[in-house]
Chains A and B, each alone.
Chain A
Amino acid sequence: MDLTDKEYVERCRDGHQEDFRVLVDRYQKPLFAFLAGRLRDGRQVEEAAQESFVRAFLSLKKLRKPESFYSWLLGIGGRVAKEQLRSLKHRQQDCEVTESIMANAADRREDYPLEEAIAALPESYRQVILLRYYEGHSCQEIATRLELPLGTVTKTLSRAYALLRQELVARESAETTVNQTLLP
């Protein structure tokens, strides 16, 4: 049975830095998808993802809730993406290109709350969603890997979908409220 995020974070803090490999393996795809919603260029996304993991590793001791590793990682990822966009804006002579990248990132905004909503799930639900959709495992493979009955996996998925939908609706209405407040 795989260890939880909390256990891996604690092992890394205790000096088993090789165990960070498992956390990278576990979250590289959702982090990549999250960053791809903010940055257009694939190479930029990969650089930002690597940078986010490295910063996360170096700051592991500051993480107050090790069980919230993934949502904390997304926070780091969001900051790294902002820095990249800012630095790109400063570097680029051709402002039109930069503006188009920024506009493109803004256009795709509706897509990336999904990863944030996944981060808000309790770990057992999040784990099943990540294995199913980011690692491409079938329900049976997940059942085998987590040593759970198949029925438990489908029920967990069912509950995870319900929580995800609630979370997405809540985020959407919060965003609508913000937009309405900002509108003249």
Chain B
Amino acid sequence: MNCAECRENLVACVEGLLDREESLQCQAHLETCAACRAEHAAITRLQRQLMARSPATAGVSLVNPVMRRVQAMQTERERNSIMTKLFTRWGFGLGAAAGTAAIILIAFLVFPKAQATAAEVMTKGAQAVAKLTSIHLRGQLRTLPADNFSYINADCPFYTIEFWKQFEPDLKWRVEKPQRVVVADGQSTVMLIKNVGLAFKVPLSTTSAFDTQWLQRIANLSNTITNELNNALAKGWNMSLTNETGADGRAKDVVTIEAKSGLPDNDYLKNLYFNTADTRRMYVFDNQSEHLESVKIYLHAASGEKLIFELNQIDYNQPIDPGVWKLDLPADVSWWQNEMQKLPDNDKYASMTAEQTARAFFEACSQENWSEVEKFLRESPLDHLLKQELGGLEIIQIGTAFTSNASPDQFVPYKIKLKNGYDKELNLALRKDEPTGRWFVDGGW
């Protein structure tokens, strides 16, 4: 590796994102080049300075108190002057109308008529739901009942997924699928994985936790529709409009968007998540109310097209039962920890390659040496399903690690014989971005 290549890869190297060979090449170059070493030191110094911000700001949650004050002031202002109120109303209307006109005008100038008309429907749909106090969404997703909320798999059956969100006066939300539920009650955000009785807690009410971000985005419908339209226009996704009569006898506008992930077909993570998938998205708007009424998302896979997500109930501004914001935890619930501890013999593990780590992990499982197994995991307590499945296994083969463009993980192919006699052949996902410098198992067992 020369200086230019080293400089180009320094950040990826510091972030632990290079594969083993590139990482070794980078380290070798740093050992022999004082200038690149100085650059490396400057980056890590700046990183440390930036990292030092995290502990002081970790629990900061100003959104709700600020918004309460903002809303109180707005109300006070409006109460004080009828004229202000009138001007504010007109201001809202004119501003929104100007924004709509701008988007429609751009769409008409740049795109064929069908796309421009679809853009118009989307823009009006976004405006129609711009002021929400609450929303309730219900649909179905091809997924695993206890897996991540964004996990999709065309081979899985459909499971119900439901989302409630209250925007005012406090931001609260709940997402639920059969074996996994998250509730943000305005104070904290808690997730329960029901089938293993494991709970996770973030000590603030946040909308970016537990892999629910895509649902959060959908719930902010006005933004979602606007963003979807902007994405389609910016990325050149095909967009079209058809007209139908709904089951209720009313006229419906159906906007279809062909979304592309940009990942090559042979990428390991292609089509595993929404943002790594190529999809056809159908948005059905009521022609009269302009409200979005349903969504269907079809996955484009090599084997053909398949419906993977359907939103068939959308309730706008309906009162939500306060019980929705309560999460009943089982009496014997385990609380999850996710900080890896440095080990007395940490260097021994930190010097292992991904393949050596995979082998050591499976050997520990084979011996049912669970304290050893925990050294390869970031989280505790140890998942009892892991014990059940991998205890007493026999290693048949460990392959060479490979990477994906869509993940910092390295994937080690393996073949093992399970205690129940079945062979299991999969890729163990390993990651190395914790301060301990050890590889840890990030999935795939």
Contact = CB atoms under 8 A, between A and B. Distances in A.
B69 A133 contact: no
B247 to A, nearest CB: 33
A125 interface: no
A49 B69 CA distance: 13
Contacts of B17: 139, 150, 154
Interface stretch (B54-62, B158-166, B191-199, B353-361): B54-62
Contacts of A82: none
A58 to B, nearest CB: 7
B50 A129 contact: yes
A136 B99 contact: no
B46 A161 contact: yes
Interface string B39-69: 0001100110111011011101111011101
Interface string B170-183: 01000000000000
B24 interface: no
B367 interface: no
A133 B53 contact: yes
B213 interface: yes
A157 interface: yes
A140 B57 CA distance: 22
B10 A158 contact: yes
Interface string A119-137: 0000000000100111110
A147 B275 contact: yes
A28 interface: yes
Contact of B56 (A3, A33, A132): A33
B66 A58 contact: no
A180 to B, nearest CB: 25
Interface in A1-21: 1-3, 10-11, 13-18, 20-21
A54 interface: yes
A28 B92 contact: no
Contacts of A143: 406
Contact of A114 (B49, B74, B208): B49
A3 B89 CA distance: 24
Majority SS of interface residues in chain B? helix
A67 to B, nearest CB: 17
Interface string A21-33: 1001100111011
B12 interface: yes
Contacts of B54: 133-134, 136
B324 interface: no
A98 interface: no
A165 interface: yes
Interface residues of A, number: 52
Contacts of A129: 50
Given A32-B56, A145-B213, A14 B96 contact: yes
Contacts of B56: 32-33, 36
A28 B226 CA distance: 25
A24 B67 contact: yes
A164 interface: yes
B66 A24 contact: yes
Interface string A144-163: 11010111001101100100
Nearest to B433: A138
Given A114-B49, A150-B405, A154-B12, A15 B66 contact: no
Contact of B69 (A2, A50, A150): A50
B169 to A, nearest CB: 12
A30 to B, nearest CB: 8
B188 interface: no
A157 B71 CA distance: 36
A2 to B, nearest CB: 8
B213 to A, nearest CB: 7
Contact of B61 (A3, A28, A58, A158): A28
B73 A58 contact: yes
B298 to A, nearest CB: 19
B1 to A, nearest CB: 16
B69 A140 contact: no
Nearest to B77: A58
A57 interface: yes
Nearest to A144: B275
B96 A25 contact: no
B318 interface: no
B51 A138 contact: no
30 contacts: A1-B227, A3-B226, A14-B95, A14-B98, A15-B95, A17-B70, A21-B63, A24-B67, A30-B57, A49-B60, A50-B62, A53-B62, A53-B70, A54-B69, A57-B70, A114-B49, A133-B54, A134-B57, A139-B17, A140-B408, A144-B273, A144-B275, A145-B213, A154-B15, A154-B17, A158-B8, A158-B11, A161-B11, A161-B47, A165-B46
Which 7 interchain pairs have the tightest Cβ spacing? A14-B95, A15-B92, A29-B57, A133-B50, A158-B11, A28-B62, A53-B66
Interface of B: 8, 10-12, 15, 17, 42-43, 46-47, 49-51, 53-54, 56-58, 60-63, 65-67, 69-71, 73-74, 88, 91-92, 95-96, 98-99, 130-131, 167-168, 171, 207-208, 213, 222-223, 226-227, 230-231, 262, 273, 275, 405-408, 433
Given A32-B56, A36-B56, 8 more contacts: A16-B222, A20-B70, A24-B62, A29-B60, A132-B50, A136-B58, A149-B262, A161-B43
